[in-house]
Structure 1
Amino acid sequence: MTTDNKNIVQGALTALVATGDVDALASLLSDDFVHHRPDATSKTKAEWLAAVGAALVPLGGMQVEIQHVLADGDHVVMHSKRRLPGAGPEIAVVDIWRLDEGLIAEAWEIIEPVTQAAANLTWWESADH
C-alpha cells in the first residue's frame, strides 16, 4: 500500500506538471478532498483545482525536482524544489498527502522561497535584538 500511495502522488504531480491538465489531477482526488494551508484556510476539491488551474498559466514551464518521497501508511510526504523558467526564484516545497482507498483525500503544503530560508531559521529572534 505504501508503494502504491507513493506512486499515486508522484503520478499526480508528474501528470500535472507535464501536461498542465488539472482534469488529470481531478481524477486522483476524492470527492471530499480538502487542501489545508498554513494560515488555517482550506479549500474544497473544486476550489483547489480552480486555484491550481489559475496558477498554471503564470507558472507554465515550471521545473520541479523531487528531492524526497516518503510514505507511511496512508500518508505520503514529498519534498521538492521548484523554479520558474529563466531566472525565476527557486522555492522549496513540502507536500503532505493523505490517501484513502487509492485517492488523495487531504493535502497540506508548505512553500518557502530558497532565498529567504536563512531568515526563517531565526524566526524566533526579535527584530530589535
Structure 2
Amino acid sequence: MTLSLQKNTGSDASKLEANKAIVLAFYEAAINRTDFEAASKFLGSRYVQHNPLIADGIEGFKDFLAFLRENFPGLRAEVKRVFADGDFVTAHTHGVRVPGDRGSAIVDIFRLEEGKIVEHWDVIQPIPEQPLNQNGMF
C-alpha cells in the first residue's frame, strides 16, 4: 500500500509540474509575445473567461491579445512565483504594459483539463507611486 501511495504522489507531483510548465509557456506566448497561434496550442476546445473586461471564449481571448499587441507593443510580464493545486495553477506576476511604468501586480488563476487551459480568473492591482509600507508587492 505504501508503494502505491508513493507512486501516486510522484505521479501527482509530475502532473503539478507539467501544469505549471504549461501555464508558464502559455504566459510567454500569450502575454510576452502576444502570439495567438502559439498561445492557442495551450488552450482546450473551450475557454471560460472570468475577467469581466474580456469577452468569453477563445475568440474573446484572441481579440484581447490583438488589443494588447496593438496598444501595448512593449508589454512585458514577469512571473514571480507559480503554484499548482490539482488542475489549478496560480501565477503571481509583475505586468508592465508601457516600459518604464511601475506596472501592476497580477494574480492569474488557470484551470486545466487534460493538459489544456480551459478557464481563467485574475485580479490586477496597480503598483502605487507611494506605498504606505516598504514590503513590496512581490
Q: Distance in 1 between matches of 2:74 and 2:93?
A: 16
Superposed CA deviations along residues 73-102 of structure 1, whole A, max 9, x for unmatched, are 100000001113433241111000000011
Q: Distance in 2 between matches of 1:117 and 1:51?
A: 30
- Say yes or no: does 1:25 pair with 2:36: no
In structure 1, runs of 5+ residues without a counterpart are 120-129
Contact 2:96-2:104 within 8 A present in 1 as well: yes
Identify the residue that residue 107 of structure 1 maps to in structure 2.
120
Per the alignment, in what secondary structure is the counterpart of residue 71 of structure 2? coil
Moved over 4 A (4+): 39-42, 116-119
The residue type equivalent to 2:21 in the other structure is N
> Which has the larger displacement, 105-114 or 49-58?
49-58
The TM-score, its normalising length taken from structure 1, stands at: 0.80
Specify which of 49, 65, 77 is matched with residue 64 of structure 1. 77
Higher Cα Rg, which structure? 2
Q: How does 1:1-129 map to 2 (within 5 A)?
A: 1-37=15-51, 39=52, 43-115=56-128
**CA apart distance, 1:54:** 1.5
**CA apart distance, 1:40:** 9.1
- What value does the CA root-mean-square deviation take over the aligned residues? 2.4
In structure 2, runs of 5+ residues without a counterpart are 1-14, 133-138
Identity in percent: 27
Choose between structure 1 and 2: higher strand proportion: 1
Identify the residue that residue 136 of structure 2 maps to in structure 1.
none
In 2 relative to 1, CA 90–40 (structure 1 residues): closer, same or farther, beyond 3 Å? closer
How many residues matched?
118
**CA apart distance, 1:116:** 7.9
Contact 1:35-1:42 within 8 A present in 2 as well: yes
Choose between structure 1 and 2: higher helix proportion: 2
In 2 relative to 1, CA 73–118 (structure 1 residues): closer, same or farther, beyond 3 Å? same
In 2 relative to 1, CA 26–41 (structure 1 residues): closer, same or farther, beyond 3 Å? closer
